[in-house]
Amino acid sequence: MSLRYESIENLTKLIQEKKVKPSELIEETFKNIKQTDATINSFLALDEAVAMDKAKAMDNQEPTGKLFGIPMGIKDNIVTKDLETTCASKILTGFNPVYNATVMNKLNAENGIVVGKLNMDEFAMGGSTENSFYKKTVNPFDHSAVPGGSSGGSAAAVAASLVPFSLGSDTGGSIRQPASYCGVVGMKPTYGRVSRYGLVAFASSLDQIGPITRNVKDNAKVLEIISGHDNMDSTSAPVEDVDFSSNIEKDIKGLRVAVPKEYLGEGVSEEVRTSVQNAIKELEKMGAEISEVSLPNSKYGVATYYILSSSEASANLARFDGIRYGYQAEGAKNLEELYKKTRQEGFGDEVKRRIMLGTYALSSGYYDAYYKKAQKVRTLIKQDFERVFEAYDVIVGPTAPTVAFDIGAQINDPLTMYANDILTIPINLAGLPSISVPCGEANGRPIGLQLIGKPFDEKTLYNVAYNYEQVFNMSERYQSL
């Protein structure tokens, strides 16, 4: 029997009933990766020997843990002990961490099996996974299209059914946008819900780790595992309620749903607008109460985000100096020259662009004009959401303004590339939870519906997403890829 398209829930049941051995599942997983990933290019590194040894040892054990024997792929900016972690950058080539990220310890405690690290935009800076130093990942639905970014490898591997789930990171839409482009389910949790310890920092006040899956129930299950307070992360929230599944199947009658007029306005393609409006009608049929609202300051989100995130990146990436780990330039005559040559040769163009922008925004004479003003606008954006959530339970709109664009179409036009995150960025600035679920296709390329919730109310988002998934899902399409 083929296990490739099975959910985490079904695979767990098959293993518990002794119908499938963990080693058989892992063996088939690597077989599928070798057959398919030469085209998709979602994986950067495989851990086949370790994974197979772990699975064979499990064959003789009683199943314990919520992920016993389940294969998983991990975005390459999440630290994995003894497995190369490069952030898809030349500057971290050969870096083998000596510890695990907190999320990895949580997944390992449930006996999940890491099969490899997934491609991404270098240091999570990009929206197409074309900024990786190593390779370009393609969209499994259309190999001439990008998979989105920066978690493009994570979304593509799940959409191509190479793993039942993966982890990504989301700074301004980097889980939800590739989830939309690749027709899968991607959750960006509330800021502080999941520990950032062991996530290589891009913008510390925005970054969050989250799961990517092919269905909503699996997504909720993975988030339950990786959530929770962590003393190793000073920004980790002391919130221990991680039950996202118990009411997932209840109806949504009476749910108050807000639709921001800005999210269906200028810049949103006709195909996306139509698919999202059809999805909203389905929610209305289920008994949800739909109303139009306004988020007037969202239009400033992109400018605000790129000032703040680049400023934080400028500080966070200062540690990559060629001394402690990773790539070191040759031929330097002194320490200062070593720093300069290593960073010049080790960082890609997009990373350099954002470091320069962030350094400029933080510099003397410009701090008040840019960074400080951006922080004030961030507060206004957050207050817009707070006002809406006084009267509504969920906000609904598109995840991305268009379907996935062609490979190479925007790589030399950074401002257009940045605009693709216009609908996801405000959620990160406000620290809110948000999930993308498939809601349509246009010319064979998927479209995503974005659900936005109150702080730490992922439970409601999963409930709405699950109900909508019963009307529209991509389960049959995955098997045709």
pLDDT of 234 strictly over 80: yes
Contact 196, 226 (CB under 8 A): no
- φ, ψ of residue 130 to 5 degrees: the values are -95, -10
Contact 381, 297 (CB under 8 A): yes
Q: State how far the alpha carbon of 26 is from the alpha carbons of 37, 56, 72, 157, 171, in Å.
A: 16, 9, 10, 15, 31
pLDDT, residue 25, reads 98
As annotated, the active-site residues are 75, 150, 174
pLDDT, residue 325, reads 86
pLDDT of 348 strictly over 70: yes
Percentage of the chain lying above the pLDDT 70 cut: 100
pLDDT, residue 2, reads 86
Q: Is 397 helix (H, G, I), strand (E, B) or coil?
A: strand
pLDDT of 360 strictly over 70: yes
Q: Mean pLDDT throughout 304-317?
A: 97
Q: State both tokens at 227.
A: 């959530």
pLDDT of 324 strictly over 90: no
| Count of the separate structural domains present in the chain | 1
- Is residue 478 situated within a structural domain? no
Integer Cα distance of 90 and 339 in angstroms: 15
Integer Cα distance of 81 and 99 in angstroms: 5
User: Residue 204 sits in which domain range?
Assistant: 8-250
- Give the model confidence (pLDDT) of 54-81 as tens digits: 999 999 999 999 999 999 999 999 999 9
Q: Which residue has the tokens 């080693």?
A: 23
- Is residue 439 situated within a structural domain? no
- Is residue 399 situated within a structural domain? no
- Is residue 35 situated within a structural domain? yes
pLDDT of 1 strictly over 80: no
Q: State both tokens at 245.
A: 């599944």
- Is residue 36 situated within a structural domain? yes
- Is residue 204 situated within a structural domain? yes
pLDDT, residue 415, reads 87
- Is residue 226 situated within a structural domain? yes
pLDDT band at residue 261 under the 50/70/90 scheme: very high
Q: Which residue has the tokens 């591997």?
A: 157
CATH of the domain at 165: 3.90.1300.10
Integer Cα distance of 427 and 431 in angstroms: 6
Query: Radius of gyration (Cα) for the chain, nearest Å?
Result: 21
- Give the model confidence (pLDDT) of 120-165 as tens digits: 999 999 999 999 999 999 999 999 999 999 999 999 999 999 999 9
pLDDT of 352 strictly over 80: yes
Which residues lie below 8 Å from residue 481, measured CB to CB, with a gap of 6+? 140, 141, 159, 160, 161
Q: Mean pLDDT throughout 344-359?
A: 97
- DSSP string spanning 17-48? TTSS-HHHHHHHHHHHHHHHHHHH--EEEE-H
- Is residue 362 situated within a structural domain? no
Q: Is 71 helix (H, G, I), strand (E, B) or coil?
A: strand
Integer Cα distance of 92 and 421 in angstroms: 27
State the average pLDDT for the chain.
97
